[in-house]
Amino acid sequence: MTLFIPEWQRSTGSQLQCKRVLKSLEGDFVVRKCLARDTWSPDFFLQRGELDWLALMVCELPFETLDPGQLFTTEDQATFTRMLEQLSTFEARAGVPALRKLVVMWGCDSDQSEALWTRHCKDRGIRLMSKKTFIESGAQQLPRLLKTLAPDARQSLMGHYFPEAEIAGTLTTRRHFARDNNARTLRYFLDAQQEWASKLDLELPDEQTEAAGDFSVKLINGVAGSGKTLIAASRALILAKKFPDQQVLMLIHNVPVVKDLKHRLQRVYGEIPANLSIITALSWISKQWRRLFKQTLKMPRNDTETIDLIQHFRDLDHPDLKPRNEQLLDEFNFINDTVVVDASDYLNVERAGQGFALRKEERQQVWALYERVTAALFKQSGLRMWSSLPRDLCLANRPEKLEPYHHILVDEAQFFAPSWFQLIKLTLNRTEGTLFLCADPNQGFLKSRLSWKRVGLDVAGKTKKLRKSYRTTQAILSAANQMLAGITQTDPDDYLQPDFEGMESGTPPLFVLSPSRQDAVAQVCNEICAHQKRVELPLSGMLLLYGKSIDKKLLIKTLKARFGTDRIWDMNETDAGPGHDDSLRIATVESATGLEAPVVFLVGLEKLLSLVQNENVTADELEQNARKLYMAMTRAGQRLVLISSTALSEKIAGLFEHA
């Protein structure tokens, strides 16, 4: 199948017929167009695999104006000559390897094309092909014209004409532990599917094509490690540079990923474009809330104060309510997330995925309790629930007061609440705005049973699935997949089956049983030291994720004592950054989605493992925790080590090697 990067969205005339021929090529081909406006390039490149290339031009000038037998030189002849001169010398000017070159003569037959070739191209290494020959036999002839490049030549070509597809080694986990002392520089580029996804719909949509709504939507569904964050970041950079007068916003679910991504981008590319904002969704929502309401925003540090108020008012007014306080708090968040307007709206709202049923009378009581608790929270302490902020903004419905954007990109979109998407639509340019989503349906543990239709987005026919993982190995991804499939009852339509073909086999994840949770802290330090020495891996090549069963203060104190205070980067600390270029990143499991490293250590997951292995929990709780464990396991690129004081149950123990 032929992949067009970027897609030819509005092909007409010769472009449409060219596309038909190129799409008929047998095998995996890529048709590339250069995006840089300040660089001359052929109309497009044809690529097979990584190393076989051909440069192509389409000339629509008629033979009547190009005929070399004419007495006087015509303007079209001069234009044709300039084009051939540029085509014959572009490699030398760009410092890229020599390619084979073909010009399709759309206004000439075979004899006329041969006459022009004899006059202009005989000594330039340029082939001419008539329109008729191209349409009738181009699919057979084009593959024969491809030239195989050396790997370093291919890197030079990609780096010059498609620099937006290049990613630095620090931005990828495509690494191997095998040592190679040859002096050479290895450059990384987005995979063709990833690059295709990053360049979807780069041209602003015409008003006439806005049949389905007032902005375009694209969804990338990808398995763990398929490069969704890289796709979104690459696309955001392209848009910011292509449209310097338009605002581009990239929203990410959690703080560690924003800090990690911005740190790496700044190290590699320098300053991020001024018109590009990369921010967590909650920070962006808070910023918009303060902009609209012009008030100081006070937020609770934890759920304790809200739960205390729930207990107080249910004792006073609703002592017979059956749901636990934690369930009622979750229901309050659900009311905010789904932008429930009033009591009558709440009585009719669909609650699928909430995990417990409520009769009509109970819903009335819950709504009354919701109003009492939220009012008291604000009156007593001036606090608001985090989930109430986007609801406030949506119900205010004053988009003209919000900061607007032309392009919004959402990474890890499976974790976004319906209210977040409603707010996104309010801030998106109504006539030219584009919305781009990246998601992994296999990881959706925060917003269970959330569908794009429920959040008001029509992605039917606008979805691309990426099934190949480039981060991790077959052994790690297969183990995570088997764990998830064996525990959950996922709807097949919501599950994305990875493509394991061609993946590095790797070694199964390792399970280390420690005598106690305190011993697990010492054990993880020993494992990190062992990887430093055994495979000469720097601390920056490792990631430590910890769960709620660990003593965080003890963990950080022990790590700093072992490796140095400036070598530990706690990514959950708001103002903390890396104190050294070679720092060990640590983060909570709940905030780890989007993070990655060649080697990942998991510690303090005893509670999570017990919930995954406990048959007495509800199906929803079981599924959410299984997805969380799946996410944590798939952060690893080459090696995954799980350290726990709790033994694994039989249904998942076989997925691990045991130390």
Pairing of strands 542-546, 463-466: unpaired
Q: Say how many residues make up the chain.
A: 659
DSSP string, 344-361: HHHHHS--TTSSS---HH
Run of H or E residues at 391:
helix 388-396
Longest dimension (CA), the chain: 102
Residue 225 labelled as part of a binding site: yes
Residue 374 labelled as part of a binding site: no
Asked if residues 626 and 617 have their Cβ atoms less than 8 Å apart, the reply is no
Output the CA–CA distances (angstroms, integers) from residue 24 to 134, 270, 398, 470, 473, in the order listed.
12, 42, 50, 28, 33
Output the CA–CA distances (angstroms, integers) from residue 250 to 74, 155, 207, 413, in the order listed.
51, 28, 24, 11
Picking from 189, 188, 224, the residue whose alpha carbon sits closest to that of residue 499 is 224
Picking from 448, 440, 480, the residue whose alpha carbon sits closest to that of residue 632 is 480
Asked if residues 130 and 62 have their Cβ atoms less than 8 Å apart, the reply is no
Asked if residues 143 and 164 have their Cβ atoms less than 8 Å apart, the reply is no
Residue 222 labelled as part of a binding site: yes
| Cα 312 to Cα 49: distance, rounded to the nearest angstrom | 66
For residue 184, give every residue at least 6 positions away whose Cβ sits within 8 Å of its Cβ, in sequence order, or none.
152
Residue 226 labelled as part of a binding site: yes
Q: How far is CA 7 from the centre of its chain?
A: 19
Q: What share of the chain is helix, strand, coil (3-state, %, to 5)?
A: 45, 15, 40
Residue 223 labelled as part of a binding site: yes
Please report, in range form, the residues annotated as the binding site for ATP.
222-229
Please report, in range form, the residues annotated as the binding site.
222-229
